[in-house]
Structure 1
Amino acid sequence: MKKIAITGATSGIGLETAKALLEKGNHLIFLIRDIKKGKQMLASMPNAENVQIISCDLAELSSVKKAAEELLKTNDHLDVLINNAGGTFEKRLESKDGLELHFAINHLGHFLLVKELIPLLKKSHTKIINLSSEAHKAGKLDFNDIHLKNKYSTLKAYGNAKLCNVLFTKSLARKGFTSYSLHPGVIDSGFGNNLSGLFRLMWKLGKPFMKSPRQGASTSIYLALNELPKEQNGVYFKNRKPFRSSVDSRNTAIQDKLWEISEKLVTEKLGSNS
Protein backbone atom coordinates (compact mmCIF):
# COMPACT_ATOMS: atom_id res chain seq x y z
CA MET A 1 0.00 0.00 0.00
CA LYS A 2 1.14 3.55 -0.68
CA LYS A 3 1.59 6.59 1.55
CA ILE A 4 -0.05 9.53 -0.22
CA ALA A 5 -0.25 13.21 0.78
CA ILE A 6 -3.06 15.31 -0.71
CA THR A 7 -4.13 18.94 -0.48
CA GLY A 8 -7.80 19.90 -0.62
CA ALA A 9 -9.08 16.52 0.56
CA THR A 10 -12.28 17.78 2.21
CA SER A 11 -14.42 18.64 -0.83
CA GLY A 12 -15.04 17.95 -4.52
CA ILE A 13 -12.44 16.00 -6.45
CA GLY A 14 -10.04 15.89 -3.52
CA LEU A 15 -12.61 14.27 -1.26
CA GLU A 16 -13.51 11.65 -3.85
CA THR A 17 -9.84 10.98 -4.59
CA ALA A 18 -9.16 10.51 -0.88
CA LYS A 19 -12.13 8.16 -0.42
CA ALA A 20 -11.11 5.99 -3.36
CA LEU A 21 -7.49 5.77 -2.23
CA LEU A 22 -8.55 4.89 1.33
CA GLU A 23 -10.93 2.22 0.05
CA LYS A 24 -7.89 0.56 -1.52
CA GLY A 25 -6.09 0.51 1.83
CA ASN A 26 -3.58 3.30 1.25
CA HIS A 27 -2.30 5.57 4.02
CA LEU A 28 -3.15 9.23 3.46
CA ILE A 29 -1.88 12.55 4.78
CA PHE A 30 -4.48 15.31 4.52
CA LEU A 31 -2.90 18.75 4.10
CA ILE A 32 -5.98 20.89 4.76
CA ARG A 33 -6.99 24.33 6.00
CA ASP A 34 -10.12 23.36 7.94
CA ILE A 35 -9.07 20.74 10.52
CA LYS A 36 -12.55 20.56 12.08
CA LYS A 37 -14.14 19.84 8.70
CA GLY A 38 -11.48 17.24 7.98
CA LYS A 39 -12.21 15.36 11.20
CA GLN A 40 -15.94 15.45 10.46
CA MET A 41 -15.32 14.05 6.98
CA LEU A 42 -13.25 11.21 8.40
CA ALA A 43 -16.24 9.97 10.36
CA SER A 44 -17.85 8.79 7.11
CA MET A 45 -14.69 7.63 5.33
CA PRO A 46 -13.41 4.07 4.95
CA ASN A 47 -10.22 3.15 6.84
CA ALA A 48 -10.18 6.54 8.59
CA GLU A 49 -7.52 5.23 10.96
CA ASN A 50 -5.12 5.37 7.99
CA VAL A 51 -5.29 9.18 7.81
CA GLN A 52 -2.94 11.76 9.28
CA ILE A 53 -4.23 15.35 9.29
CA ILE A 54 -1.85 18.31 9.01
CA SER A 55 -2.97 21.94 9.05
CA CYS A 56 -2.04 23.69 5.81
CA ASP A 57 -3.44 26.96 4.45
CA LEU A 58 -2.14 27.37 0.90
CA ALA A 59 -3.01 31.07 0.98
CA GLU A 60 -0.47 31.62 3.77
CA LEU A 61 3.12 30.66 2.99
CA SER A 62 4.15 30.41 6.65
CA SER A 63 1.37 27.83 7.14
CA VAL A 64 2.63 25.81 4.17
CA LYS A 65 6.18 25.86 5.56
CA LYS A 66 4.96 24.65 8.97
CA ALA A 67 2.92 21.89 7.32
CA ALA A 68 5.96 20.69 5.40
CA GLU A 69 8.02 20.70 8.59
CA GLU A 70 5.42 18.57 10.38
CA LEU A 71 5.18 16.15 7.46
CA LEU A 72 8.96 15.75 7.39
CA LYS A 73 9.08 15.25 11.16
CA THR A 74 6.39 12.55 11.20
CA ASN A 75 7.11 10.66 7.96
CA ASP A 76 10.26 9.08 6.57
CA HIS A 77 8.68 8.01 3.27
CA LEU A 78 6.13 9.39 0.79
CA ASP A 79 5.05 7.58 -2.36
CA VAL A 80 2.77 10.23 -3.88
CA LEU A 81 2.03 13.94 -3.40
CA ILE A 82 -1.24 15.13 -4.96
CA ASN A 83 -1.42 18.92 -5.26
CA ASN A 84 -5.17 18.93 -5.65
CA ALA A 85 -6.44 22.06 -3.89
CA GLY A 86 -7.50 25.04 -5.95
CA GLY A 87 -10.11 27.73 -6.29
CA THR A 88 -11.56 30.47 -8.45
CA PHE A 89 -12.77 33.90 -7.46
CA GLU A 90 -14.74 36.51 -9.38
CA LYS A 91 -13.21 39.57 -7.74
CA ARG A 92 -9.49 40.21 -7.49
CA LEU A 93 -8.46 39.06 -4.01
CA GLU A 94 -5.10 38.79 -2.31
CA SER A 95 -3.67 36.14 -0.01
CA LYS A 96 -2.38 36.85 3.48
CA ASP A 97 1.02 37.41 1.84
CA GLY A 98 -0.35 40.03 -0.58
CA LEU A 99 -0.36 37.70 -3.62
CA GLU A 100 -3.17 37.43 -6.17
CA LEU A 101 -5.29 34.63 -4.74
CA HIS A 102 -5.57 32.35 -7.80
CA PHE A 103 -1.78 32.39 -8.15
CA ALA A 104 -1.25 31.91 -4.41
CA ILE A 105 -3.59 28.98 -3.83
CA ASN A 106 -3.35 27.13 -7.14
CA HIS A 107 0.38 27.52 -7.69
CA LEU A 108 2.67 29.22 -5.20
CA GLY A 109 1.49 27.39 -2.08
CA HIS A 110 2.07 24.08 -3.83
CA PHE A 111 5.42 25.28 -5.19
CA LEU A 112 6.58 26.02 -1.64
CA LEU A 113 5.22 22.71 -0.34
CA VAL A 114 7.26 20.79 -2.91
CA LYS A 115 10.33 22.96 -2.32
CA GLU A 116 10.26 22.32 1.44
CA LEU A 117 9.70 18.59 0.97
CA ILE A 118 12.51 18.08 -1.56
CA PRO A 119 14.76 15.99 0.76
CA LEU A 120 11.91 13.52 1.36
CA LEU A 121 10.73 13.60 -2.28
CA LYS A 122 14.21 12.75 -3.53
CA LYS A 123 14.76 10.03 -0.93
CA SER A 124 11.37 8.42 -1.62
CA HIS A 125 11.31 8.96 -5.41
CA THR A 126 7.90 10.52 -4.76
CA LYS A 127 5.45 10.94 -7.62
CA ILE A 128 4.10 14.52 -7.78
CA ILE A 129 0.65 15.07 -9.31
CA ASN A 130 -0.59 18.59 -10.05
CA LEU A 131 -4.24 19.26 -10.87
CA SER A 132 -4.52 21.69 -13.75
CA SER A 133 -7.32 22.29 -16.26
CA GLU A 134 -7.99 22.80 -19.97
CA ALA A 135 -8.27 26.44 -18.91
CA HIS A 136 -4.46 26.48 -18.91
CA LYS A 137 -4.67 26.89 -22.69
CA ALA A 138 -6.16 30.35 -22.15
CA GLY A 139 -3.29 31.30 -19.84
CA LYS A 140 -0.74 33.91 -20.91
CA LEU A 141 1.71 34.89 -18.18
CA ASP A 142 2.92 38.47 -17.95
CA PHE A 143 5.88 38.27 -15.58
CA ASN A 144 5.75 42.04 -15.13
CA ASP A 145 2.20 41.73 -13.77
CA ILE A 146 2.04 38.20 -12.35
CA HIS A 147 -0.54 39.36 -9.77
CA LEU A 148 -2.81 40.97 -12.40
CA LYS A 149 -2.98 44.37 -10.73
CA ASN A 150 -3.59 46.05 -14.09
CA LYS A 151 -5.98 43.93 -16.16
CA TYR A 152 -7.74 41.45 -13.91
CA SER A 153 -10.42 39.01 -15.00
CA THR A 154 -11.48 35.74 -13.40
CA LEU A 155 -10.86 33.77 -16.58
CA LYS A 156 -7.40 35.27 -17.06
CA ALA A 157 -6.43 34.69 -13.41
CA TYR A 158 -7.67 31.10 -13.41
CA GLY A 159 -6.17 30.29 -16.81
CA ASN A 160 -2.80 31.69 -15.73
CA ALA A 161 -2.84 29.71 -12.47
CA LYS A 162 -3.66 26.49 -14.29
CA LEU A 163 -0.89 27.21 -16.82
CA CYS A 164 1.47 27.56 -13.86
CA ASN A 165 0.48 24.05 -12.75
CA VAL A 166 1.53 22.57 -16.10
CA LEU A 167 4.73 24.65 -16.29
CA PHE A 168 5.64 23.57 -12.75
CA THR A 169 5.04 19.90 -13.62
CA LYS A 170 7.31 20.07 -16.64
CA SER A 171 10.01 21.89 -14.65
CA LEU A 172 9.92 19.16 -12.01
CA ALA A 173 10.32 16.46 -14.65
CA ARG A 174 13.29 18.33 -16.14
CA LYS A 175 14.84 18.52 -12.65
CA GLY A 176 14.70 14.74 -12.21
CA PHE A 177 11.41 14.28 -10.36
CA THR A 178 8.47 12.16 -11.48
CA SER A 179 5.56 14.52 -12.05
CA TYR A 180 2.29 14.70 -13.99
CA SER A 181 -0.40 17.32 -14.50
CA LEU A 182 -4.00 16.65 -15.39
CA HIS A 183 -7.37 18.02 -16.43
CA PRO A 184 -10.06 16.36 -14.27
CA GLY A 185 -12.94 17.50 -16.48
CA VAL A 186 -15.58 20.12 -15.71
CA ILE A 187 -16.96 18.98 -12.38
CA ASP A 188 -20.38 19.39 -10.78
CA SER A 189 -19.15 20.44 -7.35
CA GLY A 190 -18.98 23.55 -5.22
CA PHE A 191 -16.10 24.87 -7.29
CA GLY A 192 -18.14 27.69 -8.89
CA ASN A 193 -19.76 28.86 -5.66
CA ASN A 194 -17.51 31.91 -5.44
CA LEU A 195 -18.83 33.22 -8.76
CA SER A 196 -21.82 35.51 -9.28
CA GLY A 197 -23.70 37.19 -12.08
CA LEU A 198 -23.04 35.91 -15.60
CA PHE A 199 -20.30 33.49 -14.52
CA ARG A 200 -22.60 31.82 -11.98
CA LEU A 201 -25.40 31.58 -14.57
CA MET A 202 -23.05 29.96 -17.09
CA TRP A 203 -21.89 27.50 -14.42
CA LYS A 204 -25.49 26.52 -13.61
CA LEU A 205 -26.40 26.10 -17.28
CA GLY A 206 -23.44 23.80 -17.77
CA LYS A 207 -24.21 21.54 -14.77
CA PRO A 208 -26.15 18.88 -16.77
CA PHE A 209 -23.03 18.28 -18.88
CA MET A 210 -20.54 18.11 -16.02
CA LYS A 211 -18.83 15.09 -14.51
CA SER A 212 -19.49 14.00 -10.95
CA PRO A 213 -16.63 14.58 -8.47
CA ARG A 214 -15.96 10.81 -8.44
CA GLN A 215 -15.64 10.79 -12.23
CA GLY A 216 -13.39 13.83 -12.00
CA ALA A 217 -11.15 12.03 -9.53
CA SER A 218 -10.54 9.16 -11.94
CA THR A 219 -7.36 10.50 -13.54
CA SER A 220 -5.82 11.55 -10.21
CA ILE A 221 -6.42 8.03 -8.85
CA TYR A 222 -5.03 6.45 -12.02
CA LEU A 223 -1.83 8.51 -11.89
CA ALA A 224 -1.38 7.91 -8.15
CA LEU A 225 -1.66 4.13 -8.32
CA ASN A 226 -0.06 3.21 -11.65
CA GLU A 227 3.53 3.18 -12.82
CA LEU A 228 3.82 4.92 -16.19
CA PRO A 229 6.50 4.77 -18.90
CA LYS A 230 9.44 7.14 -18.39
CA GLU A 231 8.63 8.97 -21.61
CA GLN A 232 5.34 10.11 -20.07
CA ASN A 233 7.09 11.93 -17.22
CA GLY A 234 6.04 15.60 -17.16
CA VAL A 235 3.05 14.92 -19.39
CA TYR A 236 -0.44 16.43 -19.16
CA PHE A 237 -3.32 13.92 -18.83
CA LYS A 238 -7.05 13.91 -19.59
CA ASN A 239 -9.37 10.95 -19.07
CA ARG A 240 -6.37 8.88 -17.91
CA LYS A 241 -4.58 9.42 -21.24
CA PRO A 242 -1.66 11.69 -22.20
CA PHE A 243 -2.52 14.83 -24.18
CA ARG A 244 -0.46 17.67 -25.60
CA SER A 245 -0.61 20.75 -23.41
CA SER A 246 -0.42 24.34 -24.68
CA VAL A 247 2.52 25.76 -26.62
CA ASP A 248 3.43 28.12 -23.75
CA SER A 249 3.39 25.25 -21.23
CA ARG A 250 6.05 23.47 -23.28
CA ASN A 251 8.32 26.51 -23.51
CA THR A 252 11.35 25.82 -21.30
CA ALA A 253 12.20 29.54 -21.03
CA ILE A 254 8.75 30.23 -19.54
CA GLN A 255 9.11 27.20 -17.25
CA ASP A 256 12.44 28.50 -15.98
CA LYS A 257 11.17 32.06 -15.55
CA LEU A 258 8.17 30.90 -13.50
CA TRP A 259 10.45 28.79 -11.28
CA GLU A 260 12.79 31.75 -10.79
CA ILE A 261 9.96 34.14 -9.86
CA SER A 262 8.33 31.55 -7.59
CA GLU A 263 11.63 31.01 -5.74
CA LYS A 264 12.06 34.76 -5.35
CA LEU A 265 8.52 35.31 -4.07
CA VAL A 266 8.56 32.58 -1.41
CA THR A 267 11.97 33.75 -0.20
CA GLU A 268 10.83 37.38 0.02
CA LYS A 269 7.49 36.66 1.66
CA LEU A 270 8.80 34.17 4.20
CA GLY A 271 11.64 36.54 4.99
CA SER A 272 9.21 39.39 5.62
CA ASN A 273 7.05 37.16 7.85
CA SER A 274 9.91 35.90 10.02
Structure 2
Amino acid sequence: MSNARTDRPDRCPTAVVTGGNRGIGYAVAARLLDEGCDVVLVSRDRERGEAARSRLAAVGSPRLVVGDLSGVRTIRATAEALREACPHIDVLIHNAGLWPSRRVLGEDGLEQAFVTNHLAPFLLNLELEELLAASSARVVQVSAGLYVKGRADPERTPTGLDFHPMRTYADTKLCNLLLVPLFAERWQDAGVTINALHPGVIRTGLGDRRGPLGWLLKAVKLTWKSPETGARPVVRLALSGETAGLTGRYFHLEDEHALEPVAADRTLARRLWDQAAGLTGVPQTPPPVRHDVP
Protein backbone atom coordinates (compact mmCIF):
# COMPACT_ATOMS: atom_id res chain seq x y z
CA MET A 1 0.00 0.00 0.00
CA SER A 2 1.28 3.45 -0.82
CA ASN A 3 1.13 4.85 2.72
CA ALA A 4 2.85 1.94 4.44
CA ARG A 5 4.58 2.51 7.76
CA THR A 6 7.83 4.43 7.45
CA ASP A 7 9.19 3.76 10.97
CA ARG A 8 9.41 -0.01 10.81
CA PRO A 9 12.19 -1.67 12.80
CA ASP A 10 14.81 -3.75 11.02
CA ARG A 11 13.01 -6.88 12.13
CA CYS A 12 9.69 -7.92 10.68
CA PRO A 13 6.86 -6.25 12.66
CA THR A 14 4.64 -8.68 14.55
CA ALA A 15 0.93 -8.00 14.21
CA VAL A 16 -1.72 -9.82 16.27
CA VAL A 17 -5.25 -9.90 14.83
CA THR A 18 -8.10 -11.23 16.96
CA GLY A 19 -10.90 -12.85 15.00
CA GLY A 20 -8.43 -13.24 12.16
CA ASN A 21 -9.94 -16.35 10.64
CA ARG A 22 -12.77 -14.65 8.74
CA GLY A 23 -14.37 -11.39 7.67
CA ILE A 24 -12.51 -8.13 8.21
CA GLY A 25 -9.93 -9.86 10.41
CA TYR A 26 -9.00 -12.26 7.65
CA ALA A 27 -8.75 -9.43 5.10
CA VAL A 28 -6.63 -7.40 7.53
CA ALA A 29 -4.31 -10.36 8.03
CA ALA A 30 -3.90 -10.76 4.28
CA ARG A 31 -2.95 -7.10 3.83
CA LEU A 32 -0.54 -7.20 6.75
CA LEU A 33 1.15 -10.27 5.30
CA ASP A 34 1.43 -8.49 1.98
CA GLU A 35 3.17 -5.64 3.83
CA GLY A 36 5.74 -8.09 5.19
CA CYS A 37 4.42 -8.43 8.74
CA ASP A 38 4.73 -11.49 10.93
CA VAL A 39 0.99 -12.06 11.44
CA VAL A 40 -0.49 -13.96 14.36
CA LEU A 41 -4.13 -14.95 13.95
CA VAL A 42 -6.24 -15.41 17.07
CA SER A 43 -9.14 -17.76 16.41
CA ARG A 44 -11.56 -19.36 18.84
CA ASP A 45 -11.93 -22.45 16.67
CA ARG A 46 -8.77 -24.36 15.79
CA GLU A 47 -10.18 -25.94 12.64
CA ARG A 48 -11.36 -22.63 11.22
CA GLY A 49 -8.13 -20.99 12.24
CA GLU A 50 -6.06 -23.64 10.49
CA ALA A 51 -8.23 -23.30 7.38
CA ALA A 52 -7.65 -19.54 7.35
CA ARG A 53 -3.92 -20.00 7.85
CA SER A 54 -3.83 -22.44 4.95
CA ARG A 55 -5.64 -20.00 2.64
CA LEU A 56 -3.37 -17.14 3.68
CA ALA A 57 -0.30 -19.19 2.77
CA ALA A 58 -0.71 -17.76 -0.71
CA VAL A 59 0.53 -14.39 0.57
CA GLY A 60 2.66 -15.29 3.59
CA SER A 61 3.17 -17.54 6.58
CA PRO A 62 0.81 -16.50 9.36
CA ARG A 63 0.90 -18.14 12.75
CA LEU A 64 -2.13 -19.26 14.75
CA VAL A 65 -3.01 -18.88 18.41
CA VAL A 66 -6.23 -20.59 19.43
CA GLY A 67 -7.99 -18.39 21.95
CA ASP A 68 -11.51 -17.98 23.31
CA LEU A 69 -12.40 -14.38 24.15
CA SER A 70 -15.81 -15.08 25.69
CA GLY A 71 -14.71 -15.60 29.31
CA VAL A 72 -12.22 -14.01 31.71
CA ARG A 73 -10.37 -17.28 32.31
CA THR A 74 -10.01 -18.02 28.61
CA ILE A 75 -9.00 -14.43 27.78
CA ARG A 76 -6.17 -14.78 30.26
CA ALA A 77 -5.20 -18.10 28.68
CA THR A 78 -5.20 -16.43 25.26
CA ALA A 79 -2.93 -13.67 26.56
CA GLU A 80 -0.56 -16.27 27.99
CA ALA A 81 -0.48 -18.11 24.66
CA LEU A 82 0.31 -14.83 22.89
CA ARG A 83 3.14 -14.07 25.31
CA GLU A 84 4.60 -17.49 24.60
CA ALA A 85 4.21 -17.10 20.83
CA CYS A 86 5.38 -13.50 20.49
CA PRO A 87 8.67 -12.19 21.86
CA HIS A 88 7.43 -8.80 20.74
CA ILE A 89 4.14 -7.27 19.52
CA ASP A 90 4.25 -4.21 17.29
CA VAL A 91 0.57 -4.11 16.33
CA LEU A 92 -2.45 -5.40 18.24
CA ILE A 93 -5.74 -5.31 16.34
CA HIS A 94 -8.88 -5.97 18.35
CA ASN A 95 -11.18 -7.20 15.62
CA ALA A 96 -13.10 -10.08 17.23
CA GLY A 97 -16.71 -9.15 17.88
CA LEU A 98 -20.05 -10.68 18.71
CA TRP A 99 -23.58 -9.59 17.76
CA PRO A 100 -25.85 -12.08 19.54
CA SER A 101 -29.49 -12.77 18.78
CA ARG A 102 -30.28 -13.88 22.33
CA ARG A 103 -28.99 -13.38 25.85
CA VAL A 104 -26.33 -15.95 26.72
CA LEU A 105 -24.38 -15.90 29.97
CA GLY A 106 -20.88 -17.36 30.04
CA GLU A 107 -19.02 -19.08 32.83
CA ASP A 108 -18.53 -15.75 34.62
CA GLY A 109 -22.26 -15.08 34.66
CA LEU A 110 -21.69 -12.24 32.20
CA GLU A 111 -23.42 -11.63 28.87
CA GLN A 112 -21.14 -12.90 26.12
CA ALA A 113 -21.17 -9.83 23.87
CA PHE A 114 -20.21 -7.69 26.87
CA VAL A 115 -17.23 -9.97 27.48
CA THR A 116 -16.11 -10.38 23.86
CA ASN A 117 -16.65 -6.80 22.70
CA HIS A 118 -15.62 -4.97 25.86
CA LEU A 119 -13.80 -7.00 28.51
CA ALA A 120 -11.62 -8.95 26.07
CA PRO A 121 -9.87 -5.89 24.57
CA PHE A 122 -9.57 -4.36 28.05
CA LEU A 123 -7.96 -7.42 29.58
CA LEU A 124 -5.74 -8.24 26.60
CA ASN A 125 -4.41 -4.67 26.62
CA LEU A 126 -3.38 -5.02 30.24
CA GLU A 127 -2.13 -8.60 30.04
CA LEU A 128 0.06 -7.73 27.03
CA GLU A 129 1.03 -4.28 28.27
CA GLU A 130 4.72 -5.00 28.83
CA LEU A 131 5.13 -6.45 25.34
CA LEU A 132 3.28 -3.50 23.82
CA ALA A 133 5.40 -0.96 25.70
CA ALA A 134 8.66 -2.70 24.78
CA SER A 135 7.82 -2.25 21.07
CA SER A 136 6.06 1.15 21.26
CA ALA A 137 3.17 -0.73 19.69
CA ARG A 138 0.08 0.47 17.93
CA VAL A 139 -3.26 -0.82 19.21
CA VAL A 140 -6.23 -0.61 16.85
CA GLN A 141 -9.77 -1.15 18.09
CA VAL A 142 -12.25 -2.07 15.37
CA SER A 143 -15.36 -0.28 16.59
CA ALA A 144 -18.76 0.46 15.06
CA GLY A 145 -20.57 3.63 14.12
CA LEU A 146 -23.59 2.16 15.88
CA TYR A 147 -22.00 3.14 19.19
CA VAL A 148 -24.08 6.34 18.91
CA LYS A 149 -27.20 4.21 19.47
CA GLY A 150 -25.73 2.53 22.54
CA ARG A 151 -26.45 2.92 26.23
CA ALA A 152 -23.80 1.84 28.70
CA ASP A 153 -25.53 0.82 31.92
CA PRO A 154 -22.96 -0.59 34.39
CA GLU A 155 -25.78 -2.07 36.47
CA ARG A 156 -27.51 -3.96 33.67
CA THR A 157 -25.34 -4.32 30.56
CA PRO A 158 -22.72 -6.72 32.03
CA THR A 159 -25.28 -9.45 32.74
CA GLY A 160 -27.55 -8.60 29.83
CA LEU A 161 -30.46 -7.42 31.96
CA ASP A 162 -30.97 -4.80 29.25
CA PHE A 163 -30.37 -7.30 26.44
CA HIS A 164 -31.82 -6.51 23.04
CA PRO A 165 -30.99 -8.47 19.86
CA MET A 166 -30.14 -5.27 18.00
CA ARG A 167 -29.05 -2.73 20.59
CA THR A 168 -26.77 -4.91 22.77
CA TYR A 169 -24.11 -4.83 20.06
CA ALA A 170 -24.17 -1.02 20.15
CA ASP A 171 -24.19 -0.98 23.97
CA THR A 172 -21.11 -3.18 24.30
CA LYS A 173 -19.21 -1.40 21.54
CA LEU A 174 -19.91 1.87 23.35
CA CYS A 175 -18.56 0.44 26.61
CA ASN A 176 -15.33 -0.47 24.84
CA LEU A 177 -15.01 2.85 23.03
CA LEU A 178 -15.39 4.84 26.26
CA LEU A 179 -12.13 3.33 27.54
CA VAL A 180 -9.97 4.20 24.52
CA PRO A 181 -9.07 7.71 25.78
CA LEU A 182 -8.16 6.28 29.20
CA PHE A 183 -5.79 3.77 27.62
CA ALA A 184 -4.28 6.58 25.53
CA GLU A 185 -3.54 8.53 28.73
CA ARG A 186 -2.24 5.46 30.54
CA TRP A 187 0.24 4.76 27.74
CA GLN A 188 1.22 8.32 26.82
CA ASP A 189 4.70 7.99 28.36
CA ALA A 190 5.23 4.40 27.14
CA GLY A 191 5.04 5.18 23.43
CA VAL A 192 2.05 2.90 22.91
CA THR A 193 -0.78 4.37 20.84
CA ILE A 194 -4.41 3.29 20.66
CA ASN A 195 -7.06 4.40 18.21
CA ALA A 196 -10.53 3.17 17.28
CA LEU A 197 -12.33 3.19 13.98
CA HIS A 198 -15.53 2.32 12.21
CA PRO A 199 -14.43 0.42 9.06
CA GLY A 200 -17.71 0.93 7.21
CA VAL A 201 -20.77 -1.22 6.65
CA ILE A 202 -19.08 -4.43 5.63
CA ARG A 203 -20.38 -7.74 4.32
CA THR A 204 -19.35 -10.27 6.99
CA GLY A 205 -21.04 -12.96 9.05
CA LEU A 206 -21.43 -10.64 12.04
CA GLY A 207 -25.02 -10.59 13.23
CA ASP A 208 -26.23 -13.34 10.92
CA ARG A 209 -29.61 -14.77 11.89
CA ARG A 210 -31.67 -17.81 11.03
CA GLY A 211 -35.10 -17.87 9.46
CA PRO A 212 -36.80 -15.18 7.35
CA LEU A 213 -34.99 -12.34 9.09
CA GLY A 214 -31.67 -14.02 8.37
CA TRP A 215 -32.54 -14.50 4.70
CA LEU A 216 -33.51 -10.85 4.43
CA LEU A 217 -30.30 -9.74 6.11
CA LYS A 218 -28.20 -11.84 3.73
CA ALA A 219 -29.95 -10.24 0.77
CA VAL A 220 -29.30 -6.75 2.17
CA LYS A 221 -25.65 -7.59 2.82
CA LEU A 222 -25.11 -8.21 -0.87
CA THR A 223 -25.16 -4.42 -1.27
CA TRP A 224 -22.56 -3.84 1.47
CA LYS A 225 -18.84 -3.39 0.90
CA SER A 226 -16.36 -6.26 0.94
CA PRO A 227 -14.12 -7.22 3.89
CA GLU A 228 -11.13 -6.15 1.78
CA THR A 229 -12.58 -2.63 1.66
CA GLY A 230 -13.11 -2.66 5.42
CA ALA A 231 -9.54 -3.82 6.00
CA ARG A 232 -7.92 -0.80 4.34
CA PRO A 233 -8.55 1.82 7.07
CA VAL A 234 -7.63 -0.72 9.76
CA VAL A 235 -4.24 -1.41 8.19
CA ARG A 236 -3.71 2.31 7.67
CA LEU A 237 -4.00 2.90 11.41
CA ALA A 238 -1.74 -0.06 12.08
CA LEU A 239 1.09 0.77 9.68
CA SER A 240 0.84 4.14 7.99
CA GLY A 241 3.36 6.86 8.68
CA GLU A 242 0.46 9.31 8.40
CA THR A 243 -1.10 7.97 11.60
CA ALA A 244 2.12 7.43 13.58
CA GLY A 245 1.94 9.09 16.99
CA LEU A 246 -1.81 9.63 16.93
CA THR A 247 -3.56 8.22 19.98
CA GLY A 248 -6.93 8.30 21.66
CA ARG A 249 -8.63 9.13 18.37
CA TYR A 250 -11.74 7.81 16.63
CA PHE A 251 -11.90 7.41 12.85
CA HIS A 252 -14.76 6.85 10.47
CA LEU A 253 -12.96 5.04 7.67
CA GLU A 254 -9.87 7.23 7.17
CA ASP A 255 -11.32 10.46 8.55
CA GLU A 256 -10.90 11.45 12.17
CA HIS A 257 -14.17 12.28 13.93
CA ALA A 258 -14.84 13.69 17.37
CA LEU A 259 -16.65 11.23 19.60
CA GLU A 260 -20.32 11.91 20.08
CA PRO A 261 -21.28 12.98 23.63
CA VAL A 262 -22.50 9.49 24.50
CA ALA A 263 -18.91 8.23 24.18
CA ALA A 264 -17.22 11.26 25.76
CA ASP A 265 -18.53 10.91 29.32
CA ARG A 266 -15.28 10.60 31.28
CA THR A 267 -17.00 9.94 34.60
CA LEU A 268 -18.85 6.99 33.07
CA ALA A 269 -15.61 5.86 31.41
CA ARG A 270 -13.83 5.74 34.79
CA ARG A 271 -16.75 3.82 36.26
CA LEU A 272 -16.62 1.29 33.43
CA TRP A 273 -12.84 0.96 33.83
CA ASP A 274 -13.14 0.29 37.54
CA GLN A 275 -15.92 -2.21 36.90
CA ALA A 276 -13.90 -4.00 34.20
CA ALA A 277 -10.90 -4.16 36.54
CA GLY A 278 -13.07 -5.71 39.22
CA LEU A 279 -14.67 -8.22 36.88
CA THR A 280 -11.31 -9.31 35.48
CA GLY A 281 -9.37 -9.17 38.72
CA VAL A 282 -6.68 -6.73 37.63
CA PRO A 283 -5.16 -4.22 40.08
CA GLN A 284 -4.25 -1.64 37.47
CA THR A 285 -5.97 1.72 37.48
CA PRO A 286 -6.04 4.32 34.70
CA PRO A 287 -4.52 7.78 35.05
CA PRO A 288 -6.58 10.30 37.03
CA VAL A 289 -9.36 11.95 35.07
CA ARG A 290 -7.88 15.12 33.58
CA HIS A 291 -10.54 17.70 32.93
CA ASP A 292 -8.16 19.75 30.80
CA VAL A 293 -8.14 16.98 28.15
CA PRO A 294 -10.83 17.54 25.49
TM above 0.5, yes or no, is yes
Report the number of matched residues: 266
Letter in 1 for 2:39: L
Residue number among 2, 13, 24 corresponding to 1:13 in the alignment: 24
- How far apart are the structure 2 equivalents of 1:49 and 1:226? 20
Letter in 2 for 1:255: A
Q: How does 1:209-224 map to 2 (within 5 A)?
A: 209-224=223-238
Residue number among 200, 204, 226 corresponding to 1:185 in the alignment: 200
Q: Which residue of 1 aligns with 2:185?
A: 174
Equivalent pair of 2:208/2:217 in contact (CA under 8 Å): no
Q: Which residue of 2 aligns with 1:128?
A: 139
Equivalent pair of 2:15/2:90 in contact (CA under 8 Å): yes
* Partner SS for 2:207: helix
Q: Which residue of 2 aligns with 1:89?
A: 100
Q: How does 1:48-67 map to 2 (within 5 A)?
A: 50-67=61-78
* Partner SS for 1:28: strand
| Normalised TM-score (structure 1) | 0.90
Residue by residue, what CA displacement relative to the aligned partner does 1:136-195 show, whole Å, maximum 9, x if unpaired? Answer: 001111111123543321222111111123112222112124101111111112113246
Segments of structure 2 that go 5 or more residues without pairing to the other structure are 1-11, 283-294
Residue number among 64, 70, 75 corresponding to 2:81 in the alignment: 70
Q: Which residue of 2 aligns with 1:157?
A: 168
Letter in 2 for 1:191: L
Judged with a 3 Å threshold, the aligned counterparts in structure 2 of structure 1 residues 148 and 65 are, in CA distance, closer, same or farther, namely closer
Q: Which moved more, 1:134-143 or 1:64-73?
A: 64-73
CA RMSD, aligned part only? 2.0
Q: Does the alignment pair 1:265 with 2:276?
A: no
Segments of structure 1 that go 5 or more residues without pairing to the other structure are 269-274
- How far apart are the structure 2 equivalents of 1:202 and 1:164? 29
* Partner SS for 2:139: strand
- How far apart are the structure 1 equivalents of 2:104 and 2:259? 28
Shift of 1:124: 1.4
Runs of 4+ in 1 over 3 A off after TM superposition: 46-50, 148-151, 194-198
- How far apart are the structure 2 equivalents of 1:60 and 1:53? 20
Shift of 1:46: 3.9
* Partner SS for 1:87: coil
Shift of 1:70: 2.4
Residue by residue, what CA displacement relative to the aligned partner does 1:87-134 show, whole Å, maximum 9, x if unpaired? Answer: 111111122322111111111122111111111112211111111101
Letter in 2 for 1:67: T
Equivalent pair of 2:53/2:63 in contact (CA under 8 Å): no
Shift of 1:248: 2.2
* Partner SS for 1:43: helix
Residue by residue, what CA displacement relative to the aligned partner does 1:220-263 show, whole Å, maximum 9, x if unpaired? Answer: 11111113264x41111122121122212122112211111101
Residue number among 214, 217, 220 corresponding to 1:206 in the alignment: 220
More helix by share: 1
Judged with a 3 Å threshold, the aligned counterparts in structure 2 of structure 1 residues 132 and 196 are, in CA distance, closer, same or farther, namely farther
Judged with a 3 Å threshold, the aligned counterparts in structure 2 of structure 1 residues 244 and 202 are, in CA distance, closer, same or farther, namely farther
Q: Which residue of 2 aligns with 1:40?
A: 51
* Partner SS for 1:193: coil
- How far apart are the structure 1 equivalents of 2:109 and 2:210? 21
| Normalised TM-score (structure 2) | 0.84
Q: Which moved more, 1:212-221 or 1:35-44?
A: 35-44
Judged with a 3 Å threshold, the aligned counterparts in structure 2 of structure 1 residues 137 and 113 are, in CA distance, closer, same or farther, namely same
Shift of 1:48: 6.6
Q: How does 1:111-126 map to 2 (within 5 A)?
A: 111-126=122-137
Equivalent pair of 2:75/2:124 in contact (CA under 8 Å): yes
